[in-house]
């Protein structure tokens, strides 16, 4: 699965420009599902039909998009200004390179360099350098989107990449689909668009699927870094089963089913209470008359930076948990 994660994380796909990521995923899932469809907003639906009776309509969602930038102005000397696509923090940007759809490269720097620790998070001090000196030589235009340029690095159990949020979730769904031999449920593996700018793909996709049970697969912050206090989720301690976040409270029966399944299959897990941010589960929970919604989260260090880090064992155990759950009947209490 590491090679798949490498391929996915190195692909270009900021919010609204997920085509290349979707093409990779579509090639991966076609042999293992009964139906593949791309909805009008761009989310990819891979459907596995259930066998027998008594199953539920289950929607699993992982988002394809990554945080990025969009050019908002180019001055006469060829330097660009930009705005955020998703939760981009100015303090993490100086010296980073970004790549555009056409392959153009820009370097981010700050006015009056050096100014360590003084970067205004409004982005007003930051600019893009394209290595040119005239406006007419700039290789991009206003409205073009950029993603960070960073290679995937395999550190053993630790994996480092620019867009593990949430390409690692996409890899987990693909591997779950591969390993799932039989299920009583109609399972919709949905790879959503535009999560980072407002869970938009999940909102429309869930309206289309109308699930009984909905589970988002995404990353969460890891508490095992300096000065991160009172947050018990740690990298390498197993997938985190969401209790709540700022956007939703997980269905109690669903989270109990997750925990009981993990215990029965000797899969380590940890409860998650996230006080900043939410996932596609928020949208899926509220579609139509609502669904039993929850999330499985991968502990991730350095979230929303160009160098995110997860534990491979957490990734594998997330697949194991989903396969075990979907192989039998739902137990929502």
Q: Please give the C-alpha separations between residue 80 and each of 69, 93, 103, 313, in angstroms, as whole numbers.
A: 11, 14, 16, 41
Q: Please give the C-alpha separations between residue 175 and each of 4, 5, 77, 164, in angstroms, as whole numbers.
A: 9, 11, 48, 15
Per the structure block, which two tokens stand in for 96? 């980073």
Residue keyed to tokens 């180019």 = 74
Q: What amino acid positions are annotated as catalytic residues?
A: 195
Which DSSP string do the residues of 77-106 spell out, in sequence order? TS-EEEEEESS--GGGTTT-EEEETTS-EE
Per the structure block, which two tokens stand in for 278? 């939410």
The β-bridge partners of 84 are: 69
Residue keyed to tokens 């194991």 = 320
């Amino acid at each position: 699965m590491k090679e798949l994660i490498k391929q996915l994380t190195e692909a270009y796909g900021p919010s609204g420009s997920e085509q290349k990521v979707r093409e990779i995923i579509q090639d991966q899932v076609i042999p293992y599902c009964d139906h593949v469809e791309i909805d009008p907003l761009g989310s990819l639906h891979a459907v596995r039909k259930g066998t027998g009776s008594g199953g539920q309509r289950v929607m699993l969602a992982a988002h394809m998009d990554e945080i990025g930038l969009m050019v908002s102005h180019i001055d006469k000397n060829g330097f660009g200004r930009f705005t955020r696509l998703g939760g981009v923090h100015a303090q993490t940007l100086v010296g980073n390179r970004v790549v555009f759809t056409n392959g153009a490269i820009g370097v981010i720097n700050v006015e009056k360099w050096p100014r360590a620790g003084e970067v205004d998070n409004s982005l007003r001090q930051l600019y893009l350098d394209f290595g040119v000196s005239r406006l007419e030589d700039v290789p991009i235009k206003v409205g073009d989107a950029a993603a960070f340029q960073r290679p995937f690095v395999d550190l053993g159990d630790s994996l480092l990449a620019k867009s593990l949020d949430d390409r690692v979730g996409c890899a987990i769904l693909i591997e779950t689909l591969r390993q799932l031999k039989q299920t009583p449920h109609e399972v919709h593996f949905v790879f959503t668009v535009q999560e980072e700018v407002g869970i938009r793909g999940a909102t429309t996709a869930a309206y289309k699927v109308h699930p009984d049970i909905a589970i988002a697969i995404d990353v969460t912050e890891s508490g095992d870094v300096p000065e991160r206090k009172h947050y018990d989720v740690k990298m390498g301690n197993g997938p985190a089963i969401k209790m709540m976040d700022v956007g939703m409270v997980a269905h109690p029966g669903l989270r109990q089913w997750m925990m009981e399944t993990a215990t029965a299959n000797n899969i380590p897990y940890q409860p998650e209470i996230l006080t900043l941010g939410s996932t596609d589960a928020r949208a899926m929970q509220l579609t139509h008359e609502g669904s039993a919604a929850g999330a499985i989260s991968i502990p991730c260090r350095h979230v929303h930076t160009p160098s995110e880090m997860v534990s491979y064992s957490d990734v594998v155990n997330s697949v194991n948990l989903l396969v075990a759950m979907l192989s039998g009947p739902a137990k929502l209490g």
